[in-house]
Chains A and B, each alone.
Chain A
Amino acid sequence: MASPPTPGCSGLQKIGNFVFGIAVLLSCQAIGEFLVSRLSMPIPGPIIGLILLLGLLQSHRQKQPVSVERVADFGLRHLQLFFIPAGVGVIAHLPQIRQDALPITAALLLSWLAGLISVALVALLAEKIG
């Protein structure tokens, strides 16, 4: 999802826009985390941040393309990088995984497959009805 370059936008401006985009993402998350801890909601902070940003984007629809979109595209394109440290945790948990190998393998495979297929089937069904 490469965004087209904005005409009349200098390199320095682009960097500034990128930093501004990051600031928008971080502030949405920070407000989300703050609300969650203040109101002790059983909802993760980044989810509140997502809703806030969606509201923000929807209310600024005429201004395109917004710098936060560029940053988001960049970040989402390299999403797999951010998962590597957590993924290495598999190694740390190997003894525990080996000990409960059967319930873990079965639950992972079955639950993943059931989730994937039921989403696709319900979507197909809903499309036919609608």
Chain B
Amino acid sequence: MSSHALQHTSPWWVFLTVAAYLIGRVVEHQTHRKALAQPVVIGIVFVGFVLAFNHVDPSEYQARTQLISFWLGPATVALAVPIHRQLDKLRAYLLPALAAISCGGLVSIIVAIVAVRTFGGDEQLARTMAPKAVTTPVSIALAQIYGGVPSLTATFTIMAGILGAVCGHSVFRLLRIQDPRIRGLAMGAASHGIGTSRSLRQSETEGAFAGLSMGISALATTFLLPVGFWIAGMR
């Protein structure tokens, strides 16, 4: 992010974003936490309508709300807190968790690359899709490092998060996975912060494990991404 962009921060668009989020929280509460009623989904739709109605370019809006996106970075650092709190209880569970998150991370990277290529996407699209499971500041940085399109990676990242928040628990019910620790691990690894915030509302244990998983996953994917490219035959 350039410091230049912050000078363009618009109080109106920042306010609109916060208001859209609050409306999302209210709707989530009113609908008794229906899976689709995620504050981020409602917020995006609401802001999208306001932008379309006023003929405002989305990239213009993004530049003027950097003040909000900025906090994704410190929020990633903040993940150290749930990890720190669970570390004592987790010592015994840390190895299975590490194994599961690393395996899952690698599978997610390779399936992303292979699926993009199989269904006719080019190499750049594969490099853009590959890091999409981890939290936005990390996936954007990884796209930059490994030749993807960062802003498109951010979009895919959000979509993966929304998938988790909306469909994650249906998948768990279908597979009869009830252990909140395992649900949390899977959610944090596949759907980063958006999935984690869904888990946090489900139960404290699931939320803590999701936060832990999202942190480890961001760390693991950073090192696994080149391995994934190598296995998928992309140097």
Contacts and interface: CB of A to CB of B under 8 A. Distances in A.
Interface of A: 1, 22, 25-26, 28-29, 32, 42-47, 49-54, 57-58, 68-69, 71-73, 75-93, 96-97, 100, 102-104, 106-120, 122-124, 126-127, 130
Contacts of A26: 74
Interface of B: 17-18, 20-21, 24, 38-40, 43-44, 47-48, 51-52, 57-59, 61-62, 65-66, 68-69, 71-85, 87, 92-93, 95-97, 99-101, 103-105, 107-109, 111-112, 115-121, 125-126, 129, 132-133, 136-138, 141-142, 145, 151-152, 154-164, 168, 171-172, 175, 177, 179, 181-183, 185-187, 189-191, 193-194, 196-197, 200, 204, 207-208, 211, 213, 215, 218-219, 222, 226
Nearest to B218: A47
Contacts of A102: 119-120
A86 B155 contact: yes
Interface of B is mostly: helix
Interface of A is mostly: helix
Contacts of B158: 83, 86-87, 89-90
B58 A107 contact: no
